[in-house]
């Protein structure tokens, strides 16, 4: 089994460390780094997604995808395009249609921040602005149908901006909506222990020989 954990915008792959240390029963775990995936290409959503497709499609077996925020959008996009390659799907704080008003406010804040504020984000200021602008047209609303594989949507109890979309999207999943207490948007950083418990419960609910192929 291959488990792929995709971080959010403003994070690096290291954001998963405190969660994954408690999920050590899973042998093959990948935490892709966006810059490595892009390999020098311009930082746009299309380039990032195509790089993910190339990387994930190299797995001979189905993969277990878990993404947060931007990572959840990438995971959702892949699951809609290649459902036959998905063993399970966990979407944390996802959006299936980009909230333009919220993104406009976010971009305004990014523009006001000094360059040094982006050092921990994995991308520089220009790349972050380019990426978020390229995401604005994304809308998967008309493609949503019930997933035919194990799936759930999680969201932090304090993440008001993403709770509505998370709950709506959960209606298309097999395992529904899971709320992570005492967490904001970055659940893997705010409450990694409880997130690990929720993920373990989800995976244990369906992992059997038929999913170990």
Q: What pLDDT sits at residue 212?
A: 43
- Which pair of structure tokens corresponds to residue 16? 């998963």
Neighbouring CB atoms inside 10 A of 18's CB total: 15
Residue 156: strand pairing partners: 180
Q: What is the DSSP string of 103-127?
A: HHHHHHHHHHS-GGGGTTSSS-HHH
pLDDT by 10-residue block (mean), the chain, 213 residues? 92 94 81 94 97 94 96 98 98 93 74 75 86 94 97 98 96 98 96 97 80 44
CATH assignment of 2-97+144-211, given 3.30.70.360, 3.40.50.1820, 3.30.70.120, 3.40.50.300?
Answer: 3.40.50.1820
Report how far residue 171's alpha carbon sits from residue 174's, in angstroms, rounded to the nearest whole number: 8
**pTM higher than 0.75:** yes
All structural domains of the chain with their residue ranges: 2-97+144-211
Strand boundaries in the chain, DSSP class E: 2-6, 28-30, 63-68, 86-92, 151-156, 177-180
> Is the separation of the CB atoms in 195 and 183 below 8 Å?
yes
pLDDT given at position 24: 67
């Amino acid at each position: 089994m291959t488990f792929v954990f995709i971080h959010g915008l403003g994070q690096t792959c290291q954001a998963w460390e405190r969660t994954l240390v408690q999920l050590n029963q899973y042998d093959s775990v990948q935490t892709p780094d966006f810059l490595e995936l892009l390999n020098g290409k311009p930082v746009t959503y299309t380039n990032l997604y195509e790089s993910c497709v190339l990387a994930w499609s190299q797995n001979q077996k189905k993969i277990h995808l878990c993404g947060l925020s931007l990572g959840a959008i990438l995971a959702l996009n892949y699951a809609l395009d290649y459902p036959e390659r998905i063993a399970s799907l966990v979407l944390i704080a996802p959006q299936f249609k980009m909230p333009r008003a919220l993104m406009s406010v976010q971009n305004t804040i990014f523009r006001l921040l000094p360059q040094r504020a982006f050092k921990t984000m994995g991308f520089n200021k220009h790349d972050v602005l380019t990426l978020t602008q390229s995401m604005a047209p994304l809308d998967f609303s008309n493609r949503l149908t019930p997933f035919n594989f194990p799936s759930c949507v999680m969201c932090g109890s304090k993440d008001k901006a993403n709770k509505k979309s998370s709950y709506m999207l959960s209606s298309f999943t097999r395992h529904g909506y899971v709320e992570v207490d005492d967490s904001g948007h970055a659940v893997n950083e705010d409450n990694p222990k409880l997130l690990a418990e929720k993920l373990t419960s989800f995976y244990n609910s369906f992992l059997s020989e038929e999913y170990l192929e």
